[in-house]
Amino acid sequence: MSQYLILIYEDEAGYATGDQRLFQEVMDAHNRFAEQVGELGGTLAGGNALQATNTATSVRGDVVTDGPFVETKEVLGGYYLIDAKDLDHALEIAKLCPARFGGVEVRPVQVFE
């Protein structure tokens, strides 16, 4: 098994205007996703949601900037670290990852010996 990071990119505006029902639907979808990873033979090794981009601080060399460095519509909102057989298996799992206001990116974890 190899490790892959599923990066969740979404438009924050969808959540900013959402109500409690929306948040519950999203949480239910993520809980289902966690179950589905195991059903597909993968392992959920970790994951977290990130606070909104207005809490971000960017560092480029020795320059520190409040907020995200670039303005984008979809921002990194969270991630899952999974163990999967190969990239095809990781993509099968990633297709189930909730991203109501955007999409996901799958990246293999670099292994250093």
Q: Does domain 2-108 fall into CATH 3.30.70.1060?
A: yes
pLDDT, average across residues 65-71: 64
Give percent of the chain with pLDDT exceeding 70: 95
Where do the domains of the chain lie?
2-108
How much is the average pLDDT of 85-112?
92
Residue 33, φ and ψ in degrees, nearest 5: -60, -45
Q: Supply the pTM of this predicted model.
A: 0.86
- Decide: helix, strand or coil at residue 100: coil
Q: If you search the block for the tokens 């409040």, which residue do you land on?
A: 66
Over the chain, what is the mean pLDDT?
90
* Strands, sheet with 102-108, edge to edge from the N-terminal-most edge strand: 43-49, 74-84, 2-11, 102-108
pLDDT in tens, 21-67: 999 999 999 999 999 999 999 999 999 999 988 888 887 787 777 76
